[in-house]
């Protein structure tokens, strides 16, 4: 029997890589549903090639999609809309695997719906876990969902952990099973060697030019500020039930080692590979088996230099803010994430400078009272509140 897959965010960078892996393994997987927020022509190309049963788009795109599908004699593909449509496909009885690849907070509700329905959930949408941490992990356990990391670092950590790691209880967030530390690698982004004094004037297009990975705009900017590593630090703490005290960020500019796990006997286990998201996607799709990802094997005679350094949190305060938010716990990570989404959007629209992205986040964190993140409603309310406050700082700071 083929596994039936739903791709949330099919037109994005992770969505496209997922489609590549699925195409290579079409004897094992079929595509039940795809979703997109914009770019209806791209979505129709996907529909032509993969013939899903359902496509989900915003209500205002429904007519455009219908006309395009009709033009291609694909009007039998059902169109659903908005958040209801997303949660319907993410939790659909006919779906085995959900790729959570919507960017930002918009992915939270549908990803949580997949988790609550007990699916195999391939998690790319790190913002969803950063916002809802404990709730998402508890729902996964309660509903026997298999939450597998697609983020390359977390997928690497998962591959370096003992096989039974996820099933062993850990209530105190101390390392278990002989593990002493997790080493989360970071490329350092496009401004690793840019002097601090020049950061205020960098442009969105410079910030989007990642040295090793080709990604969506938001995660590219997050990589440039190192907020991506901050969000990933929080993601790692939740996924692997480990305190941030045991997670060290290591800058490794070549992105060949995707992260490491250290053990009490002095061993450090690393997962390596060419920087291509098809590898972690294929791993999470097939785990515990392996499938062909279409990625060439690593050539260590070509990639023969691996460098490491500590991150500069003076130059990249976003990483410090994320660590402090994780230490504070409660709603702080959700506030951090919401403010960051607003600030990144403002930077992309040329409304604030690059260095003001983390200033907006810091001011927003300082403006809001922290509290327990004990319900989804509280998290969503706080997300909205943090967005409003961040927006006022965007206006105040300007460029």
Chain residues in the site for ligand NAD (CB under 6 A)? 9-15, 36-38, 101-103, 106, 124-127, 151, 213, 215-216, 218-219, 277
- Residue 8 CB, shortest distance to ligand NAD, in Å, is 7
Residues in the annotated binding site for NADPH: 11-14, 125, 127, 216
Query: Cβ distance 118 to 96 under 8 Å?
Result: no
345 binds Mg ion (CB under 5 A): no
By C-beta, is 53 or 61 nearer to ligand NAD? Answer: 61
Residues whose CB falls within 8 Å of the CB of residue 134, separated by 6 or more in sequence, listed in order: 238, 373
Question: Distance between CA atoms of 45 and 219, rounded to whole angstroms?
Answer: 24
Binding residues for Mg ion, rule CB under 5 A, total: 3
Which of ligand NAD, Mg ion, none has residue 61 at its interface (CB below 5 to 8 Å by kind)? none
Strand pairing class (78-81; 54-57): parallel
Chain residue at closest Cβ approach to ligand NAD: 12
Which of Mg ion, ligand NAD, none has residue 102 at its interface (CB below 5 to 8 Å by kind)? ligand NAD
Residue 319 CA to chain centroid, in angstroms? 16
The residue with tokens 């998402």 is: 136
By C-beta, is 107 or 311 nearer to ligand NAD? Answer: 107
148: helix, strand or coil: strand
Query: Cβ distance 353 to 399 under 8 Å?
Result: yes
Q: Put the strands of the sheet holding 54-57 in their side by side order.
A: 78-81, 54-57, 29-35, 3-8, 97-100, 120-123, 146-149
Residues in the annotated binding site: 11-14, 125-127, 151-153, 187, 210, 216, 223, 228-229, 232
Binders of Mg ion in range 143-162 (CB under 5 A): 151-153
Chain residue at closest Cβ approach to Mg ion: 151
362 binds Mg ion (CB under 5 A): no
- Residue 387 CB, shortest distance to Mg ion, in Å, is 24
Query: Cβ distance 12 to 101 under 8 Å?
Result: yes
Q: Which residues bind Mg ion (CB under 5 A)?
A: 151-153
């Amino acid at each position: 029997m083929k596994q039936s897959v739903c791709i949330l965010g099919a037109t994005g960078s992770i969505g496209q890589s997922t489609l590549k892996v699925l195409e290579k393994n079409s004897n094992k997987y079929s595509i039940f549903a795809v979703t997109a927020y914009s770019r209806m022509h791209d979505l129709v190309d996907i529909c032509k090639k993969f013939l899903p049963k359902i496509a989900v788009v915003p209500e205002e795109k429904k007519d455009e999609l219908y006309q395009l599908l009709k033009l291609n004699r694909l009007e039998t593909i059902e169109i659903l809309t908005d958040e209801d449509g997303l949660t319907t496909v993410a939790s659909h009885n006919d779906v085995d695997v959900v790729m959570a690849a919507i960017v930002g907070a918009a992915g939270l509700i549908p990803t949580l719906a997949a988790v609550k329905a007990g699916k195999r959930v391939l998690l790319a949408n790190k913002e969803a876990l950063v916002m809802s941490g404990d709730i998402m992990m508890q729902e996964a356990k309660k509903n026997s969902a298999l939450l597998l990391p697609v983020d390359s670092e977390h997928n690497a950590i998962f591959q370096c952990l003992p096989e039974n790691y996820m099933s062993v209880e850990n209530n105190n967030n101390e390392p278990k099973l002989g593990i002493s530390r997790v080493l989360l690698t970071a490329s350092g982004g496009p401004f690793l060697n840019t002097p601090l004094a020049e950061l205020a004037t960098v442009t969105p297009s410079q910030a989007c030019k990642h040295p090793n990975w080709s990604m969506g705009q938001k995660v590219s900017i997050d990589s440039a500020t190192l907020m991506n590593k901050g969000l990933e630090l929080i993601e790692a703490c939740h996924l692997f039930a480990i305190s941030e005290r045991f997670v060290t960020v290591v800058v490794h500019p070549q992105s060949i080692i995707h992260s490491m796990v250290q053990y009490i006997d002095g061993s450090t286990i690393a997962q390596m590979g060419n920087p291509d998201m098809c590898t972690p996607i294929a791993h999470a799709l097939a785990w515990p088996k392996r499938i062909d990802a279409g990625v060439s094997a690593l050539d260590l005679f070509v990639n023969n230099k691996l460098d490491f350094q500590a991150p500069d949190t003076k130059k990249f305060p976003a990483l410090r803010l994320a660590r402090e938010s994780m230490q504070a716990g409660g709603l702080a990570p959700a506030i951090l994430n919401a403010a960051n989404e607003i600030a990144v959007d403002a930077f992309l629209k040329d409304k604030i400078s690059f260095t003001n992205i983390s200033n907006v986040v810091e001011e927003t964190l300082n403006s809001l009272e922290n509290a327990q993140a004990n319900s989804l409603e509280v998290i969503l309310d706080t997300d909205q509140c943090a967005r409003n406050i961040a927006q006022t700082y965007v206006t105040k700071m300007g460029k």
